[in-house]
Structure formats: structure tokens, C-alpha cells
Structure 1
Amino acid sequence: MTFFGSTACGSTSFSRILQKGLTDNFAEVQVSVVDCPDLTKEPFTFPIKGICGKTRIAEVGGVPYLLPLVNEKKVYDLNKIAKDIQLPGAFVLGAGAGPFQTLGFNSEFMLLVQTESEHRPPVNGSYFARVNPADGGCLLEKYSEKYHDFGCALLANLFASEGQPGKVIEVKVKRRTGKLNFVTCMRQTLEKHYGDKPVGMGGAFIIQKGKVKTHIMPAEFSSCPLNSDEDVNKWLHFYEMKAPLVCLPVFVSRDPGFDLRLEHTHCFSHHGEGGHYHYDTTPDIVEYLGYFLPAEFLYRIDQPKETHSFGRD
């Protein structure tokens, strides 16, 4: 566990920092502190109303458990993870690999889990995206429609909280003028401001207009070692997906020595598309609306002993 420190307490200062940094990359930027909207309503349809209270970021496993070859022993339970981060009953959102141990195949996972507590049973609002075996397109499904466990596998980047209403940082941007994607711009803005001091944020944003580049991993793990970004990109299936898309970002300004994936964002929709977000492909019309909070603590769970730097885009 790492304490992010006092910088994690001032949403107003974060909003000023993000306003300045995002202006370098988008034509219109408005960042403010607002009451968190009711996230149970569309388009979010989360199992809880807010993302506030005892915020944490947790990175579980890592890309080295997927590449060069998969380690199928690396499976996890979200209810146990909530206890590991000292927040049983937490609401957890983020991006990870789907629970192949249950599904029987590999997939992109969009985690939305209200974990179990003494007073309430767990609720799984997660989605998964797989490559459609019929036509190679995207097949997006809500996990709880067929499955009833709370697993994930291999790697996950998570933002956890008590799931309470409260004040959040609202970010509205339109028309990308720079080269950075929305999440990278925010992350690098924080890195530039805080330097060696790591800070992390998570939350949710909607791509309201435009299209984005995404990928979905194949259903079958690679039987041949994937040893470079080039190998990985040949293995992945890439798509252009259309708004509206609901995205679940987790990002940390810099790695304090825990072999972190600095940013990871998955998205889902109510029109059947979802996957791993890379960047928008329609900069002249794209619009983003997001709600974020800084994390108070960082947890590193099951860090790989052997590591590498590829496959983390």
C-alpha cells in the first residue's frame, strides 16, 4: 500500500491543473467540481449512485501474466480484492482481462462490481467484449445475464470507493487539437505538475460524439510467444467504434516502483460495442464528458516477479 498524500484531497486544485493541461490538447475545455450525477441512470447504469468515499487504486496481476505466454493460474475474485485493499463492500470499476476460468475464453472486461459486505450481497454490473466467432466483429454482453461469480483474471486496473454520492471533478472537452488521447493528456498533465510525486485518478467518462479506435483480444490465448508490441498488435483485433461509449479509466501519473500500467481504459455501450480504448479517430467532432476523483491510496496486488514493457498501450 502507498499513500498518495495530501495532493489527493484537493479536488479544486486538481480541476485547475486539468483545466490548464487539457487546454493544450482540446479546443474547448471546462473543468469544475460538481455533485456526482446518479450513476445508476443511463448511460452509465452502474450498480451504485456515486464514486466517492475512501478512494483507492489497485493494480492486480499484470501484462506479464498474459504475455509472452499466458499464465492460467492467475485468477482473482473481486470480493477478496476488496478485502485486500481494506475496503470490504467497495464499489470497484476499471479495466481488466475477462474471467476465462468461467467464460471458457479470453475477453476484454469492463468491471463494475459492488462487492459483498456484511449488510448486502454483491452485485455484478460488468460487461465483457469478445471477438464474434461468426463474423470477427464485436460481441458485447452483460456478465450477470449468464454468469454469477465475481472473478477476473491475469490483470486488472481498478478504482475502488465506498460508492457514495459526493463532489467529483467534472471534465468536459470538445474537438481534439493535440496528439494525446483524453486519458493520456490528463495523466501527463498530472505528471508534469506533480513530478516525482505519484498521484492517481479514476472514474468514468462518456464519449458523446465521434468514433474511437479500440481493440479486443482473441478468444484463444496465443500458443506462440508474443515478444514485442508488433507481435501483440498482429494478435489483437482492432475496431472503430461509435459514440456513445461509457469508459472506465484508471491512471497514475508515474510509477513509484511497482511495475504499474500507468493508464488503462475499457469501454462499453448500449448498442453492442465495447473494448479497450486507444484514442478518438474523429478529432474535429469528438466530445468527452467525465467524472473523476483522485485516489487516496495505491495497492499493488500479485505483482509479477518477471516483467517487460510491451503490450501496455
Structure 2
Amino acid sequence: MSASTEDHPPHDHAPHDHAPGAHGSGRGGDGHDHGMAVTDDSQRRVFWVMIFTATYMVAQATGGWLSGSLALIADAGHMLSDTVALFLSWMAFKLSRRPSDERRTFGYHRFQILAALLNGATLFLIAIWVCYEAIERFAEPVEVLGGPMLVVAFIGLLVNVGGFLVLRAGESRNVNMRSAIVHVLGDLLGSVAAIAAALIILATGWMPIDPILSVFVSLLILRSAWSIIASAFNILMEGTPEGLDGAVVAQEIAAIDGVAGVHHIHVWGLTGERLMASLHLELKEGVRAGPVKAAVRARLDERFGIGHVTIEVDEPEDHPEGTPPLFVQAGH
């Protein structure tokens, strides 16, 4: 459901209101709003974490090759994907700042969602590859040098913890940012697994711990990747945003003075934090539409963070067949 695809007649009638000034901060091309400030901050955070990740990736791959550790090599491969994923996230933030135009009236914000979907898919592929390599290691064990592995893994842990904290302080509702965080979190867990494997190898000489922990981390990554893919897919399918209940939204609107009923409510997100809605109102007799619509917008923004709202006010004769679908009557 996209408001930009609705076929509205010229705005020469009072009951319907879709004026640019009525949409609040949710509109894609409304300039320097809070969402733009969040994007700027997130873009900077992703850029610097990308630089640090790429720099350390080379050192970790070298350490894994010299020590023979699958955990380090797998983690370096994951960091390579992270560098690419962070680059995609950074580019998505950059491209999403392009202003809206006649063809894309809500702007380019969904570049972020496409990047998140792609990042989630790469997480799946990497986790599957690590599991495959672990099975190969079980069949043909390889000697792992615990000392070099421990040093490289510990440095990697410091880098990944720093990157995680930098990204975590950003906008957590943005699915593009979340996908970047999950990539870095996967690296952090990989470093922890590599440290644990190195300590066990140094203490006992038991080599199978390296692929075992690699598989364990991969399963955790798969779970996180699924969450990212599901969130991105829901946004692209314009489903109801996570954490929102359409029935609760309807009840909030129906409780506003002057509202006789509300129906045809659609709530979706341009991104995870830019929420939109369209709905039909029926007003009580003698009530002016303007103040009620203003109250509805204020309530939706305050309670649910929905900043872009399209409202159609219906007359009784608009529904000669009776109660329209999804109708919520005031006082019920």
C-alpha cells in the first residue's frame, strides 16, 4: 500500500486531506527533518566501522593462514562480507538522501531496505559455507597453531567490540542499520569462538573444538540473518510495522472527539522508522472535519510515531450497502 499510488481527484473538496504540510516528518522529501539527521549519523558510524573492519580483515586472514585455524579464516571471510555489507549499508544511506522526484515521490529511502535484504542473504551464505568447511575439517583434521590464533583473535575481538558499540549507539529501528550491526555482531561472536578454541587447543591439544565452535557461531548468525530478512521483506511487502497492532490504532482513532467511526486503515513503513497510514473517517453530525483530522494526525504521531497520514472523510451516502469493511465505531 503506497499513498503515492492512490488516484485522487483535484484537492478542491474539504473532506479529503493529503496536503504536503499535513504529513509531518514521515514524508520522504520533506527536507532536513529528524529522519535525515538520523541518516547522517548512521552513515558516519557505518563508514568508520567499515574502514576498521577492512583494515583488520587483512590481518586476520593472514593470521588464519599462518596458524591453520578455520575459525580465523572463517571469521576473516565473514569480515570480508561485512566490509562489503557495510559498504552497501553506507551507500544505501547515501543514496536514500537523494530528494524525491516525479517518478519516486517518496524519495529513495528504500535503498536501505534493499541493502538490508541483500546483507541478510549474504549472512546466510557465509554461515552455510562455514558449516561446510567444518564438516570437511571433521573428516580431515588440520593442525591448528593455538598461540598465533589466540593473539589474532584477541585483537579481532577488540576491533569488533569497538565496531559493535559504535553502530549500536545509532538508530536501532532502521533495518539497514540493524543488518550492519548483525554483521559486526557475527564477527564479534566469531572472535569469541576463536579465542575459546585457541585456549582449549593450547590447554588440551583437542583440534575438533575449532570447527565445533565455528558451527555454533554460524547457527547464531543464521538466526539473526533470518530476523533481518523477515523485517526487510515485511517492509517491502508493506506489511503492518513490527510492534504495531492495527486494532489498537483503530481504537485510538475512534476515541477522538468527533469521530463516529474509522475504517479501511492501512499502516506501513517506507523504512523501519518512517511510518505511514491511510484511513477513512466518519464524523459525528455537525462536526467540522479540519480539527478532527488534525487531532487524528497528532494522536497517531504521538502514540505510534506515524508521521505521514492520508485521511478520507466519508459521508453516510458513501456506503449505501451498510457498514464498510474494517469499521470501528466510536465508543466500542
TM-score normalised by the shorter chain: which range applies?
under 0.3
Larger relative strand fraction? 1
TM-score (norm 2): 0.22
Return the structure number with greater relative CO, CA threshold 8 A, min gap 6.
1
Look at both structures and tell me which one has the larger radius of gyration over its CA atoms.
2
